[in-house]
Amino acid sequence: MKPDWDKLMAEYADHKTAGVFDVDCTTGGKSLCEKHGVRGYPTIKFGDPSALEDYKGGRTLDAFKTFAEENLKPMCSPANLDLCEADKKAQIEGFMAMSDADLAAQVKAKKDENDQLEETFKTEVKALQAKYEQLQKEKDEGLKKVKESGLGLMQAVAAHKQTTKSEL
């Protein structure tokens, strides 16, 4: 993936409105990674630097290029209100009219909601994993019992009987 990412960075090196970058989260970029919730490597994020989103697309140069062509352009934001649809523009203007404290409280509430959804997902996946492991163990034990009950010998005897019948 790294060579393809480096090629994409080179293609966007002199772009006027978009950029493709990499950050080493183990050294100088550690605080930036923590700020944006990077927990595993490699992690790809995109969007407004103040509100980055997780990239979930392919990890080939072609996939990166396609995504970049479709998404790395000026987008509706407080800095680009002229690119916004009426409803998004009104929403941004509403947020802009809020006091800093009210806006911060709203941001915190939405982040907490996000965190709760992530936690619920992780908890439920963990429960599913435990159930899967239980079912796998039960299946393996059941198959072992069937085998130990003489299935292999039964099949050998049945095959032997068929062979001796066809010889007669």
Q: Give the per-residue pLDDT at 118.
A: 93
Q: Give the per-residue pLDDT at 112.
A: 95
Q: Give the per-residue pLDDT at 168.
A: 64
pLDDT per residue, tens digit, the chain (168 aa), is 888 888 878 887 888 777 788 888 888 888 888 888 888 778 888 877 777 888 888 888 899 888 888 888 888 889 889 989 999 999 999 999 999 999 999 999 999 999 999 999 999 999 999 999 999 999 999 999 999 999 999 999 999 999 888 776
CA angle at 140 for the pair 139 and 142, rounded to the nearest 5°:
65
Q: What is the DSSP string of the chain?
A: -HHHHHHHHHHTTT-SS-------TTTTTHHHHHHTT--SSS--EES-TTS-EE--S--SHHHHHHHHHHHSS--SSGGGGGGS-HHHHHHHHHHHHS-HHHHHHHHHHHHHHHHHHHHHHHHHHHHHHHHHHHHHHHHHHHHHHHIIIIIHHHHHHHHHHHHHHHH-
Is residue 23 in some structural domain?
Answer: yes
Look up the domain containing 37 and give its range. Answer: 1-75
Q: Token digits for 128?
A: 């599913």
Q: Give the per-residue pLDDT at 69.
A: 85
Closest CA to 41 of 12, 71, 2, 7: 2
Q: Token digits for 89?
A: 């523009």
Is residue 132 in some structural domain?
Answer: yes
Q: pTM for the complete prediction?
A: 0.56
The domain total for the chain is 2
Asked if residue 124 and residue 67 are part of one domain, the reply reads: no
Asked if residue 67 and residue 10 are part of one domain, the reply reads: yes
Asked if residue 107 and residue 60 are part of one domain, the reply reads: no
**Cβ burial, residue 64 (10 Å; 0-12/13-18/19+):** buried
Rounded to whole angstroms, the Cα distance separating 38 from 47 reads: 15
Asked if residue 54 and residue 23 are part of one domain, the reply reads: yes
